[in-house]
Amino acid sequence: MSIQKAIVKQLKGITFAGKSNSNRWVMMDGPESFGGSDAAIRPKELLLISLGGCTGSDVVSILEKKRVKLDGFEVNLTADTSDEHPQVYKKIHLEYVFYGNEIQEKDVERAIELSETKYCGVTAMLNKAVEITNSYRIENINSKKNIE
């Protein structure tokens, strides 16, 4: 078992900087109406981004091992938040979008399944408290285009 450590330091009001074992800082903030500077991402938003980054990394890695060529990839996340405090995520939907030619549905489905059931630690933790659903789509690229 490895030990992860993190530190979160107040900068001003509810503006915080945090870092963990990787020794890289991330900024977090809140709205001015709540004592923040409205200058950085909200902590709860960072949780969504962490989920997308964790599963996205897994999916890309798995597809690379299967020699699936991607011209682009993104994960779009949508979360339903409760109205009452604490305003927690009740449901999160992940839409995986794959850009490229000759991408097989079976490869995509298996990569998503492995990430969500075996490899992504963020999914494993959140699954205990939040309903997580997913979908995917494959966008064929017939010629080189800029993917935004």
What is the pLDDT, as a whole number, of residue 141? 81
Q: Domain 43-139, what fold?
A: GMP Synthetase; Chain A, domain 3 (3.30.300)
Integer distance in angstroms from the first to the last C-alpha of the chain? Answer: 39
The residue whose two tokens read 């993917």 is: 147
Angle at 9 between CA 85 and CA 52, to 5 degrees: 60
Res. 144 pLDDT band, cuts 50 70 90: very low
CA distance 12 to 103: 48
Res. 147 pLDDT band, cuts 50 70 90: very low
What is the pLDDT, as a whole number, of residue 146? 47
